[in-house]
Structure 1
């Protein structure tokens, strides 16, 4: 039977969607088939089936492959009619049947309680408690603390705990959410002292309460004239209503504000967009009222001034529009992935996720899915937070990845580039890069301009010493170190950062050449190589070398195999090494096969503790049935986890073929053999690829071997 968690509240406005998302994240780290079930849901219209934005967010984000219709029980309308006609027992029985259909197909199920909004359910707390008991689910109550005094929050949490206990529920923990940040510690101490179970206190996060431009457009029925998806996803942190003359109006603008102005005020439209383009300040967008919008020349200028910034219009006047806008709050939806990351970061920062996971008691799956592997990367990086430098500070994908890394508390970051340009670019994307706050308990970011940094002279002197044999002087080095790749590499060399990730817009050579010159190879490595983690549906394989060495000789191939086995073990993959060739065992001959055979012998000689087989063909390495015929009795054949390709041509083409044809998630390339971690990105890297690579780099830097030994010449 699946282990289920029932997240419920006791009133509206508790913001429990962030908790629901956090619990789903915990469940998917442990097992690969997690379901979600909403017993009661609001219908879009009377008589129509219901849907829910949180269910759809979880279904998409966590790749729940059950049909959407099966994730819901009944609409509130259907439930009220059934209860009125046949009583609550029949209602509960019907919901239990729907729940069991989901439970039978999953290893764990997250149940989302009623929302206390126009539900027509008497004693809604008791109803949720009964459903939890009938479902066999542990309860996780969430209470909202917005606008409440600490004593009131403490009393409500204690009363709710007593109520659920009296109703026979197994309560995992109590969560007080959306409390005033200044009251968090006081509430936490009181609840820890007075409750027999864990209590977690999560402060209010304005970025979660802020609606996006897209949500405001939907609520007002506005027509979008300008703007792209990124612009519509910006948070609206306030409103500025236009009516004053332009100089006064510009003084009233605030960062993240939505400008609301009559559509005939072209001066205010152009002025606010020009201010946004200059970053003084960046706005969320412009909403035109009275059903008017400026002429085509003004709109064309607006599009050039602030590409992507939303401009929309509504037929109503400013005051009716204001009444609609001011009562809206942000929602977690599939269309707002940025808010999901903010919510997860908040949950992980303020909830003891290890303790809560242990209390849920979900047995860990033996299968390792791509999602589980990625979760494990982030969790390990977060557990020993490191500092990673990202040289491409003005690149959009890097900035979006940086926001996720910071919000999820995965690592501290340095972004390189002109400080004003980086902040202006971030603001234009609606990305909030917090100011550095030494001593804070969450991940920090600093922005450094190599051309003006006080470190420039120090780095130039260091680089000149390291490259003196090549004729390098301090005067020349002063120019070299302004290159962001060199500056970032020198930060790693000097211990100012623990690792570097680059390559979203720079070539592989531009990324790793400074590492070869400055950081150099580890004492136990003769070559720098790379691996990809290939996340298949049910396991993770390690491919090497698919990115660096075109045609390694036998000695180099053996070194790549040993390094790759160590990297696999470092990331939780038990190394069983297959040295790949077009021939298996002794069946073939020729220079290429002989190279692989010699490399295999060298691995066995140098590292007798590593399980290795070679030469071996790919099918014999990974398919037990083929292995039983070609290499019976081999401890590696049919079970290989680390696959070493004889050359770059074979490796690069194979990883791409598997990635595209088998739908595998390829994480990498991960460089190995350097004294300190530097990793390269594909120039087509997605935001999630950058996040994963930074997490890997942080984990590599946690290994003390990266900080030991003298460099090779």
Structure 2
């Protein structure tokens, strides 16, 4: 039977998109296919559905998502009554429910809908769809007492109409009132009530939204600049010395287009990082000359400069009516919204109340969700040596906003903050620190430690003092000394530059013959573990056995039941030769050292993963056809195979994850995407939680 959740409200302006996104996040952690149904819609494409579709890789046909437009719904209710309206809307829901085991229903928005008794329409529809109801109550500009009263009234309204209310959310509550509101609501109503504070970054429009709303011409700026949040507006009219101190981080400077001094001064301040601004909006249909624009572009590349025809007063009136909107074009806001939801909602409790049975399949998204959830449960500090690299900064923002871990970025602080400002990335989280190895007081301590560790190689203190200024060595020493719990690097550095310091300083853990790597290959319906695809070019039988044993431990620690396939170009006894003999010998070593592990080899890839092939080539095997850990005979085979599967099968490859070190250090592919970095940092944090690497 389809399980449905109906997110609704009692009036406009409740910001429930945060809750809709948060509930979708919880559902996709449990279920591999979630359907969306919006009974009534203002316009299509609908921005919230587009956000959910892009973020959660939905393949649902948009034609099935929407019941009807509000105008049509109001006309149908007026002409034929609520029964006819409800019947039509339920028909739409049933079409979605036929194809999905769980459906998220997005209730009406109470904004210009012309529906009499709109709350009752939502309640009736939820009941007819058999959906549990999660009401959201807006608390902006209200006292804690008023918020509590609104929540109680909403609970009575929906329960009196027969709804199964599983929880409630008070959203956009004044941060100063959150604690008192939560205390008042802890006693009533009978269901959990979660209180979310008003978050300025969510209410702030992006520069792109400002340009669209005002019909502004974009004179300068790239996509990253246009995606910045406009946290404030500073209107320029004073002379530059008076004006500059009034700038605030993330502000949009609004000034007549003929004030070249304020334009250049604002962008120069941004370039210096004091403070980073969101952009410049020019009024009065005035535009600077080409020389001024060229200078502006050199001072702050990518920073938007917009122009409108209206004067300052009319422009201000338009700006102050703007409100930030979640959508597919605002992924950073989505991360902020999810961070807010996960911080203030007991997600374990709400998941239980949603009563959604966990799917037996593990999709890439479910695996990624599990990583973030496990890392968040026991926060660790991860050091990122490439602190000024764009992808690292964007990943850091996601990790901090989602509360996944604490971070240390290495690099010259002004350079890191300037780059973050150019990207519109916020670095104001208390869990973030920026350390410059060149000037850090730790440099002398680390030089002494490294000279002692490498004295047998003739390393002096003077040489060590130079070596430890390298970000990879400095980060590794932070991990060794317990100042960070793990390190992730490699977005711009080579694998050798990342792991050589770990070999020298952290070294292998007891029982590990070598350091090796695995990739988590997230296919459409399962997760496989590939090893070694990144470190050892041509392991011998002993090393291959060690890779297999470590890979099995890695798999088990990340909830993948290990069934090991030792891959070769032949299966069983069908082939011979040095390469096959190496795999056969490695398989026997695994069986001797770890008799409890399920292992098969030599075996070909198709026989390892395809039950139909296994039934012919290796019938009766406990591994063939259902292998989860695939160990390649050499780096050439492993690296090419993982990339071929990643590209041709659309698999998500998480890794490489290093195994065999005393403390966690992980390498990135230099082509790593932001989400790859987020996943690798989460894995590193989980390794650190376990006290040793896998």
Q: TM-score, normalised by structure 2?
A: 0.99
Residue 327 in structure 1 maps to residue 314 in structure 2: no
Per the alignment, residue 406 of structure 2 pairs with 412
Contact kept in structure 1, 2:664 and 2:692, CA below 8 Å:
no
**CA shift at 1:605, angstroms?**
0.2
Q: Match for 1:546 among 510, 533, 545?
A: 533
Superposed CA offset, 1:47-69 (max 9, x none): xxx33211111111111111212
Q: Match for 1:370 among 364, 371, 376?
A: 364
CA distance in 2, matches of 1:299, 1:549: 52
Secondary structure at the aligned position of 2:38 is classed as strand
Superposed CA offset, 1:13-44 (max 9, x none): 1111111100000000001110111111113x
Contact kept in structure 1, 2:301 and 2:422, CA below 8 Å:
no
Secondary structure at the aligned position of 1:521 is classed as coil
Contact kept in structure 1, 2:178 and 2:196, CA below 8 Å:
yes
Residue 608 in structure 1 maps to residue 602 in structure 2: no
Contact kept in structure 2, 1:581 and 1:646, CA below 8 Å:
yes
**CA shift at 1:435, angstroms?**
5.0
Residue 555 in structure 1 maps to residue 555 in structure 2: no
Contact kept in structure 1, 2:659 and 2:693, CA below 8 Å:
no
CA distance in 2, matches of 1:180, 1:242: 30
Residue 15 in structure 1 maps to residue 9 in structure 2: no
CA distance in 2, matches of 1:2, 1:412: 39
Residue 536 in structure 1 maps to residue 523 in structure 2: yes
Secondary structure at the aligned position of 2:186 is classed as helix
Secondary structure at the aligned position of 1:704 is classed as coil
Q: Match for 1:479 among 443, 454, 466?
A: 466
Secondary structure at the aligned position of 2:187 is classed as helix
Contact kept in structure 1, 2:382 and 2:406, CA below 8 Å:
yes
Residue 637 in structure 1 maps to residue 621 in structure 2: no
Secondary structure at the aligned position of 1:111 is classed as strand
Residue 310 in structure 1 maps to residue 297 in structure 2: no
Residue 179 in structure 1 maps to residue 166 in structure 2: no
**CA shift at 1:287, angstroms?**
1.2
Q: TM-score, normalised by structure 1?
A: 0.96
CA distance in 1, matches of 2:406, 2:249: 25
Contact kept in structure 2, 1:39 and 1:99, CA below 8 Å:
yes
Secondary structure at the aligned position of 2:213 is classed as helix
1:352-371 map, 5 Å: 352-371=346-365
Per the alignment, residue 674 of structure 2 pairs with 687
Superposed CA offset, 1:406-463 (max 9, x none): 1111011111111222122212211111253xxxxxxx11111112222222211111
Per the alignment, residue 246 of structure 1 pairs with 240
Residue 621 in structure 1 maps to residue 608 in structure 2: yes
CA RMSD in angstroms, aligned pairs only: 1.1
CA distance in 2, matches of 1:300, 1:117: 44
Contact kept in structure 2, 1:386 and 1:411, CA below 8 Å:
yes
Secondary structure at the aligned position of 1:491 is classed as helix
Secondary structure at the aligned position of 1:82 is classed as helix
Per the alignment, residue 5 of structure 1 pairs with 5
Moved more, 446-455 or 31-40: 446-455
Secondary structure at the aligned position of 1:632 is classed as coil
**CA shift at 1:670, angstroms?**
0.4
Per the alignment, residue 448 of structure 1 pairs with 435
**CA shift at 1:194, angstroms?**
2.1
CA distance in 2, matches of 1:196, 1:189: 14
Per the alignment, residue 402 of structure 1 pairs with 396
CA distance in 1, matches of 2:487, 2:421: 24
Alignment size in residue pairs: 694
CA distance in 2, matches of 1:529, 1:100: 51
Q: Match for 1:565 among 552, 564, 580?
A: 552
Residue 229 in structure 1 maps to residue 206 in structure 2: no
Superposed CA offset, 1:347-372 (max 9, x none): 00000000000000111111111111
CA distance in 2, matches of 1:661, 1:587: 29
Per the alignment, residue 207 of structure 1 pairs with 201
Per the alignment, residue 444 of structure 2 pairs with 457
Contact kept in structure 1, 2:7 and 2:134, CA below 8 Å:
yes
Per the alignment, residue 119 of structure 1 pairs with 113
Per the alignment, residue 73 of structure 2 pairs with 79
Per the alignment, residue 672 of structure 1 pairs with 659
Secondary structure at the aligned position of 1:432 is classed as coil
**CA shift at 1:706, angstroms?**
4.1
CA distance in 2, matches of 1:451, 1:604: 50
Per the alignment, residue 93 of structure 2 pairs with 99
Q: Match for 1:58 among 11, 29, 52?
A: 52
Moved more, 86-95 or 283-292: 283-292
The runs of 5 or more residues in structure 2 that have no matched partner are none
